[in-house]
Amino acid sequence: MTDPHKTDLSDEEWRAKLTPEQYHVLRQAGTERAFTGQYDKHYEPGEYRCAGCGAPLFESDAKYNSGCGWPAFTRPSEGDAVEERRDTSYGMIRTEVLCSNCGGHLGHVFPDGPRDQGGLRYCINSASLDFEPGE
Protein backbone atom coordinates (compact mmCIF):
# COMPACT_ATOMS: atom_id res chain seq x y z
CA MET A 1 0.00 0.00 0.00
CA THR A 2 1.32 3.48 -0.91
CA ASP A 3 1.76 6.00 1.90
CA PRO A 4 -0.76 8.82 1.17
CA HIS A 5 1.66 11.39 2.65
CA LYS A 6 4.47 10.52 0.22
CA THR A 7 4.92 12.07 -3.20
CA ASP A 8 4.82 9.44 -5.92
CA LEU A 9 4.91 10.81 -9.47
CA SER A 10 5.59 9.12 -12.77
CA ASP A 11 8.82 9.88 -14.60
CA GLU A 12 6.86 11.99 -17.07
CA GLU A 13 5.32 14.01 -14.22
CA TRP A 14 8.74 14.56 -12.60
CA ARG A 15 10.17 15.79 -15.93
CA ALA A 16 7.29 18.27 -16.30
CA LYS A 17 7.59 19.51 -12.70
CA LEU A 18 11.37 19.96 -12.41
CA THR A 19 13.98 21.92 -14.34
CA PRO A 20 16.43 19.74 -16.30
CA GLU A 21 19.11 20.26 -13.60
CA GLN A 22 16.69 19.45 -10.77
CA TYR A 23 15.57 16.32 -12.60
CA HIS A 24 19.18 15.23 -13.15
CA VAL A 25 20.03 15.65 -9.46
CA LEU A 26 16.80 14.55 -7.76
CA ARG A 27 15.66 11.74 -10.06
CA GLN A 28 18.95 10.53 -11.62
CA ALA A 29 21.25 10.97 -8.58
CA GLY A 30 23.30 13.57 -10.42
CA THR A 31 25.56 16.22 -8.93
CA GLU A 32 25.90 19.88 -9.78
CA ARG A 33 29.42 21.26 -10.28
CA ALA A 34 31.13 22.46 -7.10
CA PHE A 35 30.79 26.17 -6.23
CA THR A 36 27.98 26.71 -8.80
CA GLY A 37 24.84 26.14 -6.72
CA GLN A 38 22.71 29.06 -5.58
CA TYR A 39 22.75 27.97 -1.91
CA ASP A 40 26.48 27.27 -1.47
CA LYS A 41 27.18 30.72 0.03
CA HIS A 42 23.61 31.40 1.19
CA TYR A 43 23.21 32.11 4.93
CA GLU A 44 19.81 33.75 5.43
CA PRO A 45 17.56 32.45 8.21
CA GLY A 46 14.90 30.03 7.05
CA GLU A 47 14.19 26.51 5.95
CA TYR A 48 15.54 24.45 3.07
CA ARG A 49 12.88 22.26 1.46
CA CYS A 50 12.94 19.55 -1.18
CA ALA A 51 12.71 21.11 -4.65
CA GLY A 52 10.77 18.05 -5.77
CA CYS A 53 8.01 17.80 -3.19
CA GLY A 54 8.39 20.72 -0.76
CA ALA A 55 9.11 18.60 2.31
CA PRO A 56 11.22 20.34 4.99
CA LEU A 57 14.80 19.01 4.97
CA PHE A 58 17.27 21.36 6.72
CA GLU A 59 17.14 24.46 8.91
CA SER A 60 19.45 27.43 8.32
CA ASP A 61 20.89 27.16 11.85
CA ALA A 62 22.45 23.82 10.82
CA LYS A 63 24.13 25.29 7.70
CA TYR A 64 27.83 26.14 7.71
CA ASN A 65 30.65 26.95 5.29
CA SER A 66 32.56 23.69 4.85
CA GLY A 67 34.45 24.96 1.80
CA CYS A 68 33.41 21.85 -0.17
CA GLY A 69 31.53 23.78 -2.89
CA TRP A 70 28.04 22.59 -1.98
CA PRO A 71 25.65 23.62 0.79
CA ALA A 72 26.70 21.83 3.98
CA PHE A 73 24.58 21.11 7.03
CA THR A 74 25.41 19.48 10.38
CA ARG A 75 22.03 17.75 10.65
CA PRO A 76 18.67 17.40 8.88
CA SER A 77 15.41 18.83 10.18
CA GLU A 78 13.75 17.07 13.09
CA GLY A 79 12.04 13.75 12.53
CA ASP A 80 12.53 11.62 9.47
CA ALA A 81 13.20 14.38 6.93
CA VAL A 82 15.88 12.39 5.12
CA GLU A 83 16.78 8.77 4.51
CA GLU A 84 20.29 7.44 4.14
CA ARG A 85 21.52 4.48 2.13
CA ARG A 86 24.82 2.94 1.10
CA ASP A 87 26.09 4.20 -2.27
CA THR A 88 28.85 2.25 -4.06
CA SER A 89 28.75 4.17 -7.34
CA TYR A 90 31.93 5.43 -9.01
CA GLY A 91 34.08 2.93 -7.11
CA MET A 92 33.51 4.66 -3.76
CA ILE A 93 31.62 3.74 -0.62
CA ARG A 94 29.52 6.67 0.54
CA THR A 95 26.23 7.36 2.30
CA GLU A 96 23.61 8.83 0.00
CA VAL A 97 21.01 11.24 1.42
CA LEU A 98 17.47 11.16 0.02
CA CYS A 99 14.25 13.04 0.72
CA SER A 100 12.18 10.66 2.83
CA ASN A 101 8.98 11.96 1.25
CA CYS A 102 9.69 11.63 -2.49
CA GLY A 103 12.93 9.63 -2.59
CA GLY A 104 14.77 12.41 -4.41
CA HIS A 105 18.57 12.31 -4.32
CA LEU A 106 19.90 15.23 -2.26
CA GLY A 107 23.61 14.49 -1.89
CA HIS A 108 25.80 12.57 0.56
CA VAL A 109 26.74 12.67 4.25
CA PHE A 110 30.35 12.45 5.38
CA PRO A 111 31.94 12.04 8.84
CA ASP A 112 34.15 15.15 8.51
CA GLY A 113 31.81 17.84 9.84
CA PRO A 114 32.31 20.05 12.89
CA ARG A 115 33.14 17.77 15.84
CA ASP A 116 31.34 20.04 18.32
CA GLN A 117 28.09 19.60 16.32
CA GLY A 118 28.06 15.84 15.84
CA GLY A 119 30.84 15.46 13.29
CA LEU A 120 28.64 15.05 10.20
CA ARG A 121 28.65 17.04 6.96
CA TYR A 122 25.49 16.74 4.90
CA CYS A 123 26.80 17.78 1.48
CA ILE A 124 23.67 18.70 -0.47
CA ASN A 125 23.09 19.85 -4.06
CA SER A 126 21.50 23.31 -4.34
CA ALA A 127 19.41 21.99 -7.25
CA SER A 128 17.65 19.63 -4.85
CA LEU A 129 16.61 22.49 -2.55
CA ASP A 130 14.16 25.37 -2.36
CA PHE A 131 14.58 28.00 0.34
CA GLU A 132 11.79 29.44 2.45
CA PRO A 133 12.88 32.60 4.32
CA GLY A 134 12.21 32.68 8.04
CA GLU A 135 12.57 34.97 10.99
Return the active site residues: 123
Q: How far, in Å, are 56, 65, 74 from residue 93 at the CA level?
A: 27, 24, 20
Rounded distance between C-alpha atoms, residue 129 and residue 50, angstroms: 5
- Burial annotation 38-62 (CB, 10 A radius, 16+ → b, else e): ebbeeeeebbbbbbbbebbbbbbeb
Beta bridge partners of 98: 83, 105
Distance in angstroms between the alpha carbons of the first and the last residue of the chain = 39
Contact 87, 96 (CB under 8 A): yes
